[in-house]
């Protein structure tokens, strides 16, 4: 019997290999100084600090600009995989700074097509993507699957590390587990849409 997966949910990830320790250190220092200079917002974050969303150009001429070029290159591949010739434009970008105990509640990113997060520091806290609830309610739960397969997983977890970029459809529900270490978790998150 043939099994065809017609409606898969794509999640892309990669590691940026060509960025130096000095560039990461400069980025960390830049981000750690932001909360004292810029008013943050509360969205899905519980504790921690999140910058106001801004256009991706805000990263230009900062220690974060080195990441933007590589993010844009990966976005081209993501949109090509989806059959779209260009990713169009960035909706917004923001910085997340989470200390011990801080986390992000389950959420989506409305009014955009693709979203992503790039990790400037290592972390032991997973980002968790959840299967759409309608599929669970009408299909998977009623089957009472005894083991997880890509066809029956309720969630998938990624343990981010410094230099890791994860991209996903903006409608995909996700959350970030609490930071359980004394090390600050810093990431750049963003939304995009096609032209």
From CA 142, how far away is CA 118, in angstroms rounded? 36
**Hey, what are 113's tokens?**
């097509």
DSSP assignment of 77-96 = HHHHHTT-S---EEEEEEEE
| Class of the CATH domain delimited by 12-193 | mainly beta
**pLDDT confidence band for 162 (50 / 70 / 90):** very high
- Residue 148 pLDDT more than 80? no
**pLDDT confidence band for 131 (50 / 70 / 90):** confident
**Hey, what are 43's tokens?**
């969205």
**pLDDT confidence band for 57 (50 / 70 / 90):** confident
What pLDDT does residue 84 have?
A: 86
CA–CA distances in Å: residue 112 to residues 9, 69, 116, 169, 194: 16, 20, 11, 9, 9
88 or 56, which is more confident: 56
**For the residues 31-54, what does the mean pLDDT come to?**
91
Strands of the sheet with 155-158, listed across from one edge? 45-46, 103-107, 174-176, 127-130, 155-158
The percent of residues in the chain predicted with pLDDT above 90, rounded, is 63
pTM for this one? 0.91
Question: Over the chain, what is the mean pLDDT?
Answer: 88
Contact present, 102 and 177 (Cβ < 8 Å): no
**For the residues 84-104, what does the mean pLDDT come to?**
88
**Hey, what are 60's tokens?**
């230009």
Q: What are phi and psi of 77, to 5 degrees?
A: -65, -45
**pLDDT confidence band for 90 (50 / 70 / 90):** confident
Q: Which of 55-64, 146-155, 160-169 has the lowest mean pLDDT?
A: 146-155
């Amino acid at each position: 019997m043939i099994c065809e997966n017609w409606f898969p949910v794509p999640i892309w990830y990669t590691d940026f290999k060509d960025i130096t320790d000095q560039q990461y250190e400069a980025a960390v220092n830049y981000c750690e100084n932001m909360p004292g200079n810029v008013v943050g917002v509360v969205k899905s974050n519980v504790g921690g600090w999140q910058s106001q969303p801004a256009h991706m150009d805000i990263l230009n001429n900062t220690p974060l600009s080195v990441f933007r070029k590589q993010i844009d290159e990966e976005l081209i591949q993501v949109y090509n995989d989806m059959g779209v010739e260009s990713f169009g434009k960035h909706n917004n970008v923001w910085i997340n700074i989470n200390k011990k105990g801080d986390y992000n509640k389950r959420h989506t990113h409305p009014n955009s097509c693709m979203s992503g997060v790039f990790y400037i520091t290592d972390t032991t806290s997973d980002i968790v993507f959840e299967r759409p609830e309608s599929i669970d309610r009408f299909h998977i739960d009623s089957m009472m699957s005894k083991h997880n397969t890509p066809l029956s997983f309720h969630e998938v977890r990624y343990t981010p590390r410094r230099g890791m970029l994860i991209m996903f459809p903006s409608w995909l529900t996700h959350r970030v587990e609490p930071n359980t270490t004394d090390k600050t978790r810093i990431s750049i998150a963003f939304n995009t849409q096609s032209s």
